[in-house]
Amino acid sequence: MTGRKLRLFGSKQNTTQDLRPRVLFVSHEATRTGAPKIILNLLKHFTDHCDYQVETILHSGGHLAEDFQDYSTVHCLNLPCQQSADLRKKVRRIVQRKKDNHPILAICNSMESRFIAEILSEMEIPAISLVHELPSSYTEEDYQIVYNSSGKVVFPVQAVRHEAEQKLPIPFGKSVVLSQGLLDADFGKRITRESARERIRRELDLPDDAFIVLGCGTLDLRKGIDHFAVIARRVVQLNKNQSPIHFVWVGEGPRWTHSTYHYVQLDLDKTPARDFVHFIGERENVEPYFVGSDAFLMSSRVDPFPCVIHEAMASGLPVITFANSGGAPEAVENGAGFVVPYADYEQSASIIRMLATQPEMATGVRECSLERIETRYCFEEYAHKIIDLAESVLGARLRTVRQQHVIRAAA
């Protein structure tokens, strides 16, 4: 979905008039990143359990735009995430396109959707805002917009809620902490560990006994690809004359001159680690890379509650993450992973080498991670709780017995 004009997808034919109430789902983009995947999964769940007209508003498109279209009418604005007269005009046009059937609710995903939420609030459409971000990139005014525009504000973990509260106190009774859970309940189960290990090592031309440390995300400073590379350099330096330890990063981002990646790779090229660190780009299906790896290194500087943590846990990977970097430590606390002091390269390297040389040390971590995914991080439960919240905001029931609401117009 590109171009400058507003595009509508999946619209009903003119021969029918759908009288069901309208519900809006708002996302800043449709890329294969965590936040768009979360709102897409919520959209799927909503259409399965609630009999309403569902529409999606996207600031911009991406690979998942067609998936949104499979479940809803999609309005792709192709506008930046900032307030403007053009944004206001287009959002108001979407709301008013069915004059006698204005939307009854909006579910707005991420801080980046706050300006759309603000416009919808002005039009008296109640909203639930899902805030996945930490406040280091946002102002008090940004949070005030979210608080004013939302009936409820949902945070993924206590750490994110706490940081938001420190930035700007949250109105009493408005915040809820709900962890989204594993997006794909079958993740990690569709391929055996043995076949995944063989596939990755063959693809990357690695030795059969290579221990693989996985990283995943965009190639930028927030995700800490520089931390990832420095830890790899330290491991390679210490790991002489032992089975090789390779570091594989799945995900894409700017690679041009003077980008973060450019300088990270420049540093690597000057050390022996250049042969042990692999930035392999984006993959449509990341499951084999998780299942076929041996550990997951969460090197982010700022990451509220990334979906990749659930995928690593569901794949039985020991997770190493930094303290004070977001919500990942809450996920792996009490035996489901390793939390090291922020940017502690030495301790991170030590844990990775321990896992590589003493694989039995990972057994308890794997068992704890898998148990926690089953009991604490179920997406279906999260989605049901979001619908519960929506019903409380509306003061009305959304889960309904499906009825025929479509009335065919007279010929």
d(CA 228, CA 218): 12
The pLDDT of residue 2 is 40
Q: Are residues 383 and 367 in the same domain?
A: no
User: What does the block give as tokens for 344?
Assistant: 């502690």
Q: Are residues 321 and 348 in the same domain?
A: yes
Q: Are residues 46 and 144 in the same domain?
A: yes
d(CA 324, CA 348): 15
**At residue 239, what is the residue type?**
N
Q: Are residues 153 and 211 in the same domain?
A: no
Q: Are residues 15 and 115 in the same domain?
A: yes
pLDDT at position 401 over 70: no
Q: How would residue 1 be classed by pLDDT, with cut points 50, 70 and 90?
A: very low
- Residue corresponding to tokens 């009936």: 151
The pLDDT of residue 19 is 83
Q: Are residues 357 and 382 in the same domain?
A: no
The pLDDT of residue 405 is 39
Domain membership flag for residue 1 = no
d(CA 263, CA 385): 44
pLDDT at position 151 over 50: yes
Residue 5's SS3 state is coil
Distances (CA, A) of 60 to 79, 110, 291, 357: 6, 14, 32, 46
Q: Are residues 233 and 358 in the same domain?
A: yes
The pLDDT of residue 240 is 85
- Phi, psi (deg, nearest 5) at residue 103: -60, 145
Mean pLDDT of 88-105: 94
Report the CATH number that the domain containing residue 384 is assigned in CATH: 3.40.50.2000
User: What does the block give as tokens for 402?
Assistant: 């499906």
The pLDDT of residue 398 is 83
> For a pLDDT cut of 70, what percent of the chain falls above it?
93
| 328-338 confidence digits (pLDDT tens) | 999 998 899 99
pLDDT at position 80 over 80: yes
User: What does the block give as tokens for 121?
Assistant: 């609030």
Closest CA to 400 of 158, 30, 47, 12: 47
User: What does the block give as tokens for 68?
Assistant: 């949104």
Q: How would residue 51 be classed by pLDDT, with cut points 50, 70 and 90?
A: confident
DSSP-H helix ranges across 281-378:
287-291, 307-314, 328-332, 345-357, 363-375
| 157-194 confidence digits (pLDDT tens) | 999 999 999 999 999 999 999 999 999 999 999 999 99
* Average pLDDT in the chain: 91
Q: Are residues 382 and 371 in the same domain?
A: no
Q: Are residues 353 and 264 in the same domain?
A: yes
The pLDDT of residue 198 is 96
Domain membership flag for residue 186 = no
Q: Are residues 76 and 204 in the same domain?
A: no
Q: How would residue 241 be classed by pLDDT, with cut points 50, 70 and 90?
A: confident
Q: How would residue 403 be classed by pLDDT, with cut points 50, 70 and 90?
A: very low
Domain count, the chain: 2
Domain membership flag for residue 188 = no
**Full domain range(s) for residue 151:** 7-181+378-408
Domain membership flag for residue 38 = yes
Angle at 118 between CA 223 and CA 52, to 5 degrees: 90
Closest CA to 53 of 95, 4, 5: 95
Q: Supply the DSSP symbol for 137.
A: G
Domain membership flag for residue 2 = no
Q: Are residues 224 and 322 in the same domain?
A: yes
Sign, Cα dihedral of 124, 125, 131, 132: negative
Q: Are residues 27 and 168 in the same domain?
A: yes
